Amino acid sequence: MQACATVLTTESIGTFTTTNDCLVLFHKSRCPNCKVMFKVLEKSQQQQPNMVFVSVSIETEPDLAAELEIGRVPTVVIYRNGKPVGKRSGVLRPAELVAWYNNS
Amino acid sequence: MAACRDIIIVGGGIAGMTAAIYAARANMDVLLLEKDTCGGLANETRAVENFPSYSTIGGMELMERIRDQVIGLGVVIEEINRVDGLITEGLKRVMTEEGEVEARAVILSTGRKPIPLPVGTEWQENIHYCSVCDGLLYQGKDVIVVGGGNSGFDESLYLAELGVRSIQILEMMDRFPADETTRRKANAAGVIKTRTGCRIIDVQPTGNRGEVIVENLKSGKTETVFIDGIFVFIGQKPNTGFLAGNIRLDDNGYVLVDQRMRTNVPGVFAAGDVVTKEYRQLTTAMSDGTVAALEACQYVREWKKDHV
């Protein structure tokens, strides 16, 4: 699947989210809706270039997914100042995602 | 508005992508618009085993290969751009969520989308249409799969592989539409039970679980089943809502076309699962896309002759 977003792991997510406000996409390979959400995030980033978007595979990081109670994919979590402040599962349209990010 | 294109293809499944290949190779200026990502429902097929040239290939991989070919031919693809309307008088105007685009001809290949469970419930969080996306939630738990076609059985097998404790496949008809090979695999999985002639008539949340009322369609008797989730695979309906009376549809909402994939509007063609037809396969969608593109190219050439 798409590899353009920075890929985070159990080891790197803490440091990254502390130093960057961001959207984290939790996904799986072969998940059609995850593929759509990668594109939605890419498109949203074009509309709002300061938005940082990274990804975590729940297949390679199952413990992290369990710790964060991520069962469904795609799930997007918004981090601000190292803390998760919003979480949504399923496919969103770009305008919906940008509005949610700006209001979180 | 952007410059007028020769052909706009609405929908990037295999029918639309095949049309794009043919139109690009005929030197047409082509824009392909896709609501989500190219590939359509084939992206959800784990293994395609009836596509000439591959004995087996993942649906998503096959679609990505075709998409690469389309891009290589110079076709502009806009994904995550939903089409909301079509104005068919004169040049065709396609209204998208990002604005309006114009073309001499349009090919409609918007495919189909899953039919939702026809039962109103407040338990929507536990009703799913994609086992790859949501199956992991049900490791060690009990689920119902609604629909006894190949999709229902294939997805049940995937859920069994994930470690779902028990799976009941419910089918309304008195036999399963799924092919025998697939049914045999499901029977061998050990955790899949199957029932025909029944349907869900009510779903209510109760504690952490769902209380499902299943009706036997012959006897009318009902049974209460407690489960953790429901996966629904009961077929698809056409994505034609945006056409709003412009294009002639059949009673089920599919686009009516002639043998040359022409709709009732000159310069508007349709291809793939969205048209009225008997067989909906990748290969038949490719055939439709081919014919629609050749006809659209011919239409554009004639249009250009008339508008020199």
pLDDT digits (tens, 9 = 90+) for A46-60: 889 999 999 999 999
Confidence band, pLDDT 50/70/90 cuts, at residue B1: low
Q: Output the pLDDT for position B270.
A: 98
Residue range B286-305: mean pLDDT, rounded: 98
Best interface-test mutation with B: which of A26, A30, A47 has the largest number of B CBs within 10 A? A30
Instruction: Tell me whether residues A30 and B58 touch, CB distance under 8 A.
Output: yes
Closest chain B residue to the Cα of A74, Cα to Cα: B133
What does pTM read for this prediction? 0.89
Residue range B262-283: mean pLDDT, rounded: 96
Query: Is B246 or B81 the better-scoring residue by pLDDT?
Result: B81
The percentage of chain B sitting over the pLDDT mark of 70, rounded to a whole number, equals 100
* Rounded distance between C-alpha atoms, residue A49 and residue A51, angstroms: 5
Residue range B155-177: mean pLDDT, rounded: 96
A91 inside 8 A of chain B by CB: yes
Q: Output the pLDDT for position A3.
A: 47
Q: Output the pLDDT for position B3.
A: 87
Which ipTM was obtained for this model?
0.88
A84 inside 8 A of chain B by CB: no
Q: Which of B36, B82, B132 sits opposite A31 (nearest CB)?
A: B132
User: Residue B121 above 90 pLDDT?
Assistant: no
Kindly state the tokens that stand for A42. Answer: 């890419």
User: Residue B34 above 90 pLDDT?
Assistant: yes
Question: What does DSSP say about strands A75-80 and A22-27: parallel, antiparallel, or unpaired?
Answer: antiparallel
Instruction: Tell me whether residues B130 and A58 touch, CB distance under 8 A.
Output: no
Residues of B in contact with A34 (CB under 8 A): 133
Best interface-test mutation with B: which of A2, A26, A34, A36 has the largest number of B CBs within 10 A? A36
Q: Which of A30, A71, A72 sits opposite B60 (nearest CB)?
A: A30
Instruction: Tell me whether residues B36 and A91 touch, CB distance under 8 A.
Output: yes
Residue range B145-159: mean pLDDT, rounded: 95
Instruction: Tell me whether residues B36 and A36 touch, CB distance under 8 A.
Output: yes
Instruction: Tell me whether residues A35 and B37 touch, CB distance under 8 A.
Output: yes
**CA of A11 vs chain B CAs: smallest distance (Å):** 23
**CA of A32 vs chain B CAs: smallest distance (Å):** 6
Compute CA distances B3 → B6, B31, B170, whole Å: 10, 11, 52
Question: What are the helix and strand counts (H, E) for chain B?
Answer: 6, 17
The arrangement of strands across the sheet holding B192-195 comes to: B127-128, B229-232, B142-146, B166-170, B192-195
Instruction: Tell me whether residues A43 and B80 touch, CB distance under 8 A.
Output: yes
Q: Output the pLDDT for position A4.
A: 59
Residue range B107-127: mean pLDDT, rounded: 93
Residue range B70-80: mean pLDDT, rounded: 98
Asked if B97 and B106 count as a contact pair (C-beta separation under 8 A), the reply is no
Residue range B82-94: mean pLDDT, rounded: 94
Query: Is B125 or B199 the better-scoring residue by pLDDT?
Result: B199
User: Residue B284 above 90 pLDDT?
Assistant: yes
Q: Output the pLDDT for position B104.
A: 98
Best interface-test mutation with A: which of B32, B38, B80, B113 has the largest number of A CBs within 10 A? B80
Best interface-test mutation with A: which of B133, B151, B231, B233 has the largest number of A CBs within 10 A? B133
A87 inside 8 A of chain B by CB: no
* Rounded distance between C-alpha atoms, residue A71 and residue A77, angstroms: 13
Mean of pLDDT over chain B: 95
Residue range B160-184: mean pLDDT, rounded: 95
pLDDT digits (tens, 9 = 90+) for B189-225: 999 999 999 999 999 999 889 999 999 999 999 999 9
Residues 30-69 of A with CB under 8 A from B: 30-36, 39-40, 43, 58
* Rounded distance between C-alpha atoms, residue B165 and residue B156, angstroms: 11
- Which positions of chain A have pLDDT values less than 50? 3
